[in-house]
Amino acid sequence: MEQGKVVTCTVAKDAFTDQVTKWFDLSFDGTSTFTGHKKPDVSNFSLGLIIGPSGSGKSLLLKEFGQEEKIDWSPKKAIVSHFSDPIEATDRLMSVGFNDVRAFVRPYHVLSTGEQFRADLARRIKDGAVIDEFTSVVDRNVAKAASVALKRHVTKAGLKNIVLATCHRDVLEWLSPDWYFDTTDGTLHDGRLLRRPSITVRIYPCSRNLWGMFAPHHYLSHVLASSAKCYVVTAEFEKQTNVVGFVSCRPYPTGSIRRAWLEHRTVILPDFQGLGIGPRASDAVASLYLSEGKHYFSRTAHPRFGAYRNKPNSGWMPTTQYKGENKYARDQASDKGTHTGAERINTFGGDSRLAFSHEYVGKL
């Protein structure tokens, strides 16, 4: 193990330090010395990870890569107002799996611990960012979901030289860094050899009574139509099965199309947002109805769902022409100009909101 920087600090000895050193038979002259690890020889990477137990020198080594940015949040401003513009805010918040748009207009101090973690992450992630104690304060499902979302964003945005430090090994495969340095034994590993755990998503018909578990997390409405058919979503990974979501649909509200259904309410619980479960669950239900010879439509004001469905080979076909200005929706769904279907959005339910409208036609 090659040694790195040596750090020394001194404190004034007093009755308290004297008593503690006497109790535990410590030899202490007021000076403490820490020997760090040598900075690994890495360059031209996207995402690196320093991992190891507390007290093993992670933070000291992380400082060799840069200084962690301090994030300030005004208690009088919504979190969305802390970015350069609403488009950047929405993109960066959703890129780390923060998909509850209602929380975007709330101040930071009222958010849950998981939401605060994702909001901080959204502002910190950029070229050369360093982040200590990654996922240390959040539930482990949130940690894994945020890791997947972060890796996806870093890859898509082409970000470089981001280094994280954590004592939690459970995020390693989910994050899939280019490299990781283990401070336990001072070894550098090739993270490209890691394989993310598989997620098995299953859909089951369920009673509408389950909607109460998911209603508070729907971005638009808590109301479930009386005609809705409901499905519960489970996800199995790492030998554990979790109830993670809810999908419903109702008969298409017009007599002009026979055997047609409209997606109604789709919710993935916040702890599991960022794993890509929402689109998979929605597609699964749509595929079921298509296999029965039925038409299956979706109309959503949520930009992430709309953007996904506008991508080539998503299995969804835009159904209406663009009728309003929604730069965020177009920019996100167009995949940097490679797909013009992003402009196919319409007014939602006859009101002034803008939405994406699609029919599921099946994947090639």
105-128 pLDDT tens trace: 999 999 999 999 999 999 999 999
**Assigned domain for 21 exists:** no
Report the pLDDT averaged over residues 2-8: 77
pLDDT at 34: 84
Looking at the fold, whether 210 and 338 belong to one and the same domain comes out as yes
Q: What is the CATH number of the domain that holds 327?
A: 3.40.630.30
Q: How confident is the model at residue 307 (pLDDT cuts 50, 70, 90)?
A: confident
Q: What is the CATH number of the domain that holds 89?
A: 3.40.50.300
pLDDT at 353: 54
Domain boundary among 150, 169, 193: 193
For the chain, how far is it from start to end, CA to CA, in angstroms?
52
Check: CB of residue 333 under 8 Å from CB of residue 307: yes
Check: CB of residue 28 under 8 Å from CB of residue 53: no
Looking at the fold, whether 56 and 71 belong to one and the same domain comes out as yes
* 173 pLDDT higher than 60: yes
Report the b/e string of 196-211 with b at 16+ CB within 10 A: eeebebebeebeeebb
Looking at the fold, whether 56 and 132 belong to one and the same domain comes out as yes
Choose the weakest-confidence range: 208-212, 255-259, 345-349: 345-349
pLDDT at 340: 34
Distance CA 169, CA 143 (A): 11
**Token match 């919710």: residue?**
267
Question: Within its chain, how far is the Cα of 75 from the centroid?
Answer: 24
**Assigned domain for 204 exists:** yes
* 266 pLDDT higher than 90: yes
Of 178 and 357, more confident: 178
Domain boundary among 158, 193, 228: 193
Question: Within its chain, how far is the Cα of 6 from the centroid?
Answer: 37
Looking at the fold, whether 296 and 147 belong to one and the same domain comes out as no
The pLDDT tens digits for 15-64 are: 999 999 999 999 999 999 888 899 999 999 999 999 999 989 999 999 99
**Assigned domain for 5 exists:** no
* 5 pLDDT higher than 80: no
Looking at the fold, whether 138 and 63 belong to one and the same domain comes out as yes
User: Half-sphere exposure (CA, 13 Å, Cβ side) for 314?
Assistant: 24
Domain boundary among 176, 193, 210: 193
**Assigned domain for 166 exists:** yes
Looking at the fold, whether 248 and 339 belong to one and the same domain comes out as yes
Structural domain that includes position 184: 39-193
Q: How many CB atoms lie within 10 A of CB 4?
A: 17
**Assigned domain for 331 exists:** yes
* 348 pLDDT higher than 90: no
**Assigned domain for 264 exists:** yes
For residue 53, give both structure tokens: 């137990």
pLDDT at 51: 97
**Assigned domain for 25 exists:** no
Looking at the fold, whether 117 and 214 belong to one and the same domain comes out as no
**Assigned domain for 232 exists:** yes
* 129 pLDDT higher than 90: yes
Looking at the fold, whether 280 and 314 belong to one and the same domain comes out as yes
Q: What is the number of structural domains in the chain?
A: 2
Instruction: Give all strands (DSSP E) within 238-311, no chain letters.
Output: 240-251, 260-268, 295-300
The pLDDT tens digits for 69-93 are: 999 999 999 999 999 999 899 989 9
For residue 240, give both structure tokens: 């554990």
Looking at the fold, whether 134 and 245 belong to one and the same domain comes out as no
Distance CA 337, CA 330 (A): 9
Report the pLDDT averaged over residues 249-266: 88
Looking at the fold, whether 74 and 216 belong to one and the same domain comes out as no
Which amino acid makes up residue 30?
A: G
Looking at the fold, whether 211 and 317 belong to one and the same domain comes out as yes
Going by their DSSP bridges, the two strands 162-166 and 130-131 should be labelled as parallel
249: nearest Cα among 261, 234, 257, 236: 261
Looking at the fold, whether 219 and 79 belong to one and the same domain comes out as no
* 322 pLDDT higher than 90: no
Mean pLDDT estimate for the chain: 88
For residue 221, give both structure tokens: 């409405």
Of 30 and 303, more confident: 30
